[in-house]
Structure 1
Amino acid sequence: MKTEYLLFIILGIFFNTYMRAQPTITSADMITGTFQFTAFTFNQGVHTPGNAGANITWDFTNISGTNEIYRMFYGTCPAIPECSSFPTANQYVAVLDNAGNQSADKNLLKLSSAQLEHLGARNNTTNFTLTYTDIPIELKFPMTYLNSFTDTSSSTVNGVTTSTNDIITADGYGTIKTPVGTYSNVLRVKKESTITIITSGVPTSTTKITTYSWYKNSREVIGVFSMGNLLSPIVQPLPSRFQYTNNNVVLGVGEVEDMKSLVVYPNPSSDFITIKNEKIIDKIELSDAEGRKISEYKETSTIDISKLLRGVYYLKIDLKNEKTQIKKIIKK
């Protein structure tokens, strides 16, 4: 009996240690500051997000594809005028340019001890506001292994409604390896999104996007792997993407070379797409969802897509003396 009792104690200690090893993400882990991201875009299947489960090691040290580098600033409201468009917002996110200036596009969020909500977006330059009739929930706290919830969201812009159904699950924890470092005790959150675009009451396209995000305590997200498929009006795979942060949590303004933020509007569109940017546009390549080049444009900021079939396309935009940017557009 004593031997059995001792074994029970040992197993109990092991079980408690095992349970404590599982990371838990709370609202306190959603920190603010400047973060550098390196992103790779590649054909679906070239790289995979790895397995779900306990004590998993995800290795992305040999990631490859079309490369881009950018920085994001995570700030607090009411530090900027755009916060007034969303009175309940207490955080915002914006892209930074080379000089550390924030882009005109601001995403506004509400962070509480219970959850993180994306309230919408505001661009004071173009006087554009994106609001949700059904606000999306990004995370619920505390989030730990095997926690799961569902969510819906919707927004309408220029008569086009985008409705999203999400299934969000913490499907794994362990160690993630990126080209700049190894991070242990991370939690992976899987988000399965079904996105339907409705024009004049009629569904015009449906897309399934699955995103895997790796979170670590007292850090912003370490890595994000996204993959998707266009389900209608035709079935076709979309390019996949993996992005990761630098080892440093907060970076100085001059530490990295970044891209200018572009404003692409209207998007979705049925006829013309306009690209607004402070820099001179050198060249634009239009490709389909599988990466096949359709056409090329020189020194223009307006693209005619009226003759394209409905669906998802990509603009590869080369700016003079700047890094290339890739933007997804939707032909409705």
Structure 2
Amino acid sequence: MKRVHIIHLVLWALVPTAGIMAQPVIGLSNMPQVGDSVIIALSNQPVAPGTAGADQTWDMTWISAAEEQYFVYEDPAVTPWADLFDDATICGRSWEDYYSYYHIDATGVAAVGYAGVIGLSDTFTMDYSDSELFIPLDYSFGDSHADDFAGTSTAAGFSLPFTGDVDFEADGYGTLILPTGTYENVVRYHFFRTQEITFGTTTTTTKEQWAWVSSDYRFWLLLMEENFDGFSTTPLIWYDKAPLPAVPVAIGSAENYSVRLFPNPVSAQQSLSFEWNEQSNAVLTLTDLHGRKVWQRNMELKPGMQSLSFDGQVDAGCYLLQIATEKADHVTRLIVSE
């Protein structure tokens, strides 16, 4: 039987009412959305999550980036394993082409499956018969949650059952300082995940994760974890290099919105496409995350599908593509791969 517990710790006798009201709350608007592209800085340093508690200042400027990578959030219907994970509402695709299928709604974030390619052609999948609700929504400092999960992993022709549990606690709130800037209204959660998989004998793996999310932004600002695979422990640290706001912010006009680009990521040699709904003259500008202009073109846009190419003139990286017309500016993130 599925076990789900959400505990709200209301310390009325210890904390003034004004303090409770001032605490940030993380909700659905802080979760990734279909079409989001996230550029992360990966670090190879040891995990050091700092202190739990109220009104913390987590100074993480010591984190150095070993490499830059990305996540892209897609409609599950357009992904290779859409039929297998038809309960998913969003799919996160990593730079390694691993697909993470989630069901996100007002109750929380639940993993319903994972998939990818091993070697040249073999595939692996993790298909949940009992989904893993690992983040409850809404949550704030002091909230906790636990869930059991189960399913089947397949790889190299073998099917292996797995079971496990996850215990979540929002163990701190305050200010997070990253190499990219200072972020307020941050809640840190800490969870411990255990999974057992049976193939003759039972192997136990664990994940301990700390993640910082601000009520002002969506997606994780910073994530740290330690993964034990049954033999050794591997650390992981990354942070979002250019966080997206929790509510889309117009740039000078209420008519501004993001245009969905595809493919995204796109290689420097590929053509990029997007849908347009009106006749207009536009200036298309590509800027990097430091605000430097790297490419610009004037285009006459007509209703329907548009196509453009960078003709190999743009290096691999993360950019903002601005489509400026007389009516509004449309700004969308774009990842250019090698």
Please classify the TM superposition score into its range, dividing by the shorter chain length. Answer: 0.5 to 0.7
Which structure is higher in helix share?
1
Shift of residue 39 of structure 1?
A: 1.4
Given candidates 12, 37, 44, the residue that maps to 1:34 is 37
Deviates more, 1:78-87 or 1:216-225: 78-87
Give runs of aligned pairs for residues 151-190 of structure 1, distance below 5 A. Answer: 151-156=147-152, 157=154, 158-190=158-190
Q: Hey, what does 1:76 align to over in structure 2?
A: 75
The DSSP-based 3-state class of the residue aligned with 1:83 is: coil
Shift of residue 96 of structure 1?
A: 4.6
The DSSP-based 3-state class of the residue aligned with 2:62 is: coil
Give runs of aligned pairs for residues 147-296 of structure 1, distance below 5 A. Answer: 147-156=143-152, 157=154, 158-200=158-200, 202-203=201-202, 205-217=203-215, 218-229=217-228, 238-249=233-244, 255=288
Matched, 1:93 2:92: yes
* Contact 1:194-1:207 at 8 Å conserved across structures: yes
Aligned counterparts of 1:146 and 1:18: Cα–Cα separation in 2: 13
Which structure is higher in strand share?
2
Q: Hey, what does 2:114 align to over in structure 1?
A: 121
Shift of residue 139 of structure 1?
A: 1.2
- When residues 84 and 206 of structure 1 are mapped into structure 2, their CA distance, relative to the original with a 3 A threshold, is closer
* Contact 1:194-1:209 at 8 Å conserved across structures: yes
Q: CA RMSD in A?
A: 3.0
* Contact 1:109-1:116 at 8 Å conserved across structures: yes
Aligned counterparts of 2:78 and 2:22: Cα–Cα separation in 1: 37
* Contact 2:45-2:63 at 8 Å conserved across structures: no
* TM-score, with structure 1 as normaliser: 0.61
* Contact 1:147-1:169 at 8 Å conserved across structures: yes
How many residue pairs are counted as aligned between the two chains?
A: 230
Shift of residue 126 of structure 1?
A: 4.8
The DSSP-based 3-state class of the residue aligned with 1:18 is: helix
Corresponding letter in the other structure for 1:208: T
Shift of residue 127 of structure 1?
A: 5.8
Shift of residue 128 of structure 1?
A: 4.9
* Contact 2:134-2:166 at 8 Å conserved across structures: no
Shift of residue 64 of structure 1?
A: 4.1
The DSSP-based 3-state class of the residue aligned with 1:239 is: strand
Aligned counterparts of 1:113 and 1:228: Cα–Cα separation in 2: 28
Q: Which of structure 1's runs of 4+ aligned residues deviate more than 6 A?
A: none
In structure 1, the gaps of 5 or more residues are 1-11, 98-102, 257-320, 323-332
* Contact 1:146-1:170 at 8 Å conserved across structures: yes
